[in-house]
A and B are shown apart, each in its own frame.
Chain A
Amino acid sequence: MKLRTLLAGAMALGLATGAQAQDDPVKVGFIYVGPVGDGGWTYQHDQGRLAVEEEFGDKVETVYQESVPEGADAERAITQMALQGADIIFTTSFGFMEATNAVAAKFPDVKFEHATGFMREHPNVSTYDARFYEGRAVLGTIAGHLTETNKIGYIGSFPIPENIQGINAAYLHARKVNPEVEMVVTWAYTWFDPAKEADAARAMIDQGVDVILQHTDSTAPQAAAQEANENGGRVFTFGQASDMEAFKPLPRVASIIDNWAPYYIERVGAVMDGTWEQQATWAGIAGGEVEIGEITDAVPADVKAEAEELIAAMADGNYHPFTGPINKQDGSVWLEEGETPDDGELASMDFYVEGISGGIPN
């Protein structure tokens, strides 16, 4: 009796949900590599998620899983989200690339969007990225002017093209305004580990680096620089992914902000209209995905003006940060006078430009 009632109930429920299927909200999933409270990369993606909720209200339901490790566990997490009925899943770290494509093969009806990757093995996988290197060019310009020790530090996460583009762009533009400048690169081999990031920043400061760019996600390097400044140091940093405005006006003198909200709203909208198609998006300062946060008064006015000019030139599309002549590290010619690389070449960048010492781990 009891069992029968239960079954009847379940069937009624099943029918009911079947009938309602068309009015169901679109379920949007997000896979994050760090915690939403990292104050950087993942925080910005989550701001994008909230913007989607705000835009579509009841018509969407969003779910996310944070701190998903890159590697085998990612596939499990993405599969789980697909099984829970997500209609579109954004996987927001380079290391989720293989896992995203593997899961996409198993769920042809679910749309997948992978951030910062280049693999689209199935028609239901799109990739999207931002031209962070454009922002790095601006930071490099400021860094070249600010440094007194002529040592600029770059805390890299992993030696992937996105980091290498950033290192090259920052170095080229720092050297343009300061030919003496030297680039010090330290690989943290993590996207998020505040203690290690702080240690990396301290190691740099101990060795005379006075401007630090970071490609890792926490605000720990900012705090380390602030501590050094309190003990009589002169160290500048830049916010990464998020504005990191808590560290204004010093040590944080400017920032690269990732603005994912317009893209997320557009793509979720496309799923709703049924117009979603595979694509590869790579927008930058011109498209509004990359923004430069407030340049503080710690930067001299003429330097600030120069940086703003550079931003404007990139926003108009008049300037490409990698414009020849540029040689590779080994001295061979990469770009001839006035030449710019195509996106494929940029997306697989695996070499330093001339003037940077040290090798890239592979």
Chain B
Amino acid sequence: MDLSSISPTLLIASLMVAATPILLAAIGEMVVEKSGVLNLGVEGMMIMGAVTGFIAAIETGSPWAGFLAAAAGGAVVALLFGFLTQVLLSNQVATGLALTLFGLGVSSLIGQGYVGIKANGLRRIDLGWLTDLPFVGRVIFGHDPMVYLSLLLVALVWGFLKYTRAGLILRAVGESHDAAHALGYHVRRVRLMAIAFGGACAGLGGAYLSLVRVPQWTDGMTAGAGWIALAIVVFASWRAGRVLVGAYLFGGITVLQLNLQTAGAKVSVELLSAAPYLVTILVLVLISFRAGRGGDAPADLARPFHASG
């Protein structure tokens, strides 16, 4: 075994890239669930974002247009889910699953002509001498802008939910939609906005895959990342900080296990392969235990609301 061939700098740099799609999708889904809606269609929204973002980036030549289109694409599909569950009061679990199937199918259809093409990816930022610093240069100052944006988004969501009035209303809607309704808040409107936000985030996560991490369009390229994001929200007990920990842990161990294999580590490969799932769940469960109560699911999660009720 030659562990010295693993460079910690490159390892940390690539784990941040590996974690970003899941982080984006998970933080969006957390907001949705905080508002009392369970959207199991994360995978479908991600892949829609991946394909719309990729197509837009190809057609305009600008990755930023790609990310914008991805956010819009994700939000549009999410609003379809919102319309069905919030207005027509369909079952959220079934509708979410259908959204995943729908997204996978539609994305494959509209992505037909875009297989095997290369898009203009995002360049890593270059802050001159800062980026040239050993270790910190590459790890802190040497990423593409979306990595920073995703971290900023986590901080904003955390601040929004904890400190703002709008965040409080969103949480109230999620904890007790009847009470929120009685106080005169528009439960349905709040939830639709949360759903659209969640869709936009998932779309960004998907586009990060197709524009930066892979970077190309392939059918079904999310390959389950949306489900990981969903699981991370639950195991992070609906807290922004823990979502960040969970996503980085998952991404980190995925990258680490591949590096260990490549370096020829004498650890069973089956164990290494399962490690990202095992360690992420274990750590987040432990954190939740230590934190005790208070990290529980929003009380009205996945319960339909109608003003007459």
Which residues of A approach B to under 8 Å, CB–CB?
34-39, 66-67, 153, 159, 184-190, 192-196, 198-200, 202-204, 206-209, 218-220, 223-224, 226-227, 244, 246, 357-358, 361
Contacts and interface: CB of A to CB of B under 8 A. Distances in A.
B254 A39 contact: no
Contacts of A35: 108, 218-220
Contact of B264 (A199, A224, A357): A357
Contacts of A38: 218-220
A334 to B, nearest CB: 22
Nearest to B13: A206
Contacts of A200: 258, 262
Contact of A184 (B21, B255, B264, B269): B264
A199 B14 contact: yes
A180 to B, nearest CB: 16
Nearest 8 A-B pairs (CB), nearest first? A35-B219, A37-B219, A246-B116, A361-B269, A193-B223, A203-B258, A206-B10, A35-B220
A99 to B, nearest CB: 20
Contacts of A203: 14, 255, 258-259, 261-262
Given A200-B258, A219-B116, A246-B117, A39 B220 contact: no
A243 to B, nearest CB: 10
B18 interface: yes
Contacts of A220: 214, 216, 218
Given A153-B262, A246-B117, A199 B215 contact: no
A195 B118 contact: no
B218 A218 contact: yes
Contacts of B94: none
A322 B117 CA distance: 37
A199 B212 CA distance: 12
Nearest to B208: A195
Contacts of B10: 206
A209 B264 CA distance: 13
Contacts of B264: 184, 357-358
B18 A195 contact: yes
Contact of B219 (A36, A159, A224): A36
Interface in B86-138: 104, 108, 111-112, 115-118, 121
Given A37-B115, A207-B263, A218-B221, 4 more contacts: A35-B218, A39-B116, A195-B214, A196-B254
Interface string B251-271: 000110011011110001110
B60 interface: no
A192 B118 contact: no
Given A37-B111, A37-B112, A192-B223, A227 B215 contact: yes
Contact of B216 (A153, A208, A223): A223
B218 A186 contact: no
A219 B218 contact: yes
B164 interface: no
A206 B256 CA distance: 12
B225 interface: yes
B141 to A, nearest CB: 16
Contacts of B181: none
Given A189-B273, A219-B116, A204 B262 contact: yes
Contacts of A67: 104, 220
Contact of B221 (A36, A184, A194, A358): A194
Contacts of A358: 264
A187 to B, nearest CB: 5
A76 to B, nearest CB: 16
B6 interface: yes
Contacts of A361: 268-270
Contacts of A195: 18, 21, 209, 213-214, 221-223, 225
22 contacts: A34-B219, A35-B218, A35-B219, A38-B219, A184-B264, A185-B261, A186-B261, A189-B269, A198-B214, A203-B14, A203-B258, A206-B7, A206-B10, A206-B259, A207-B262, A209-B262, A219-B116, A219-B218, A220-B216, A246-B118, A361-B269, A361-B270
A196 B270 contact: no
A34 B220 CA distance: 8
Nearest to B15: A199
A204 B104 CA distance: 30
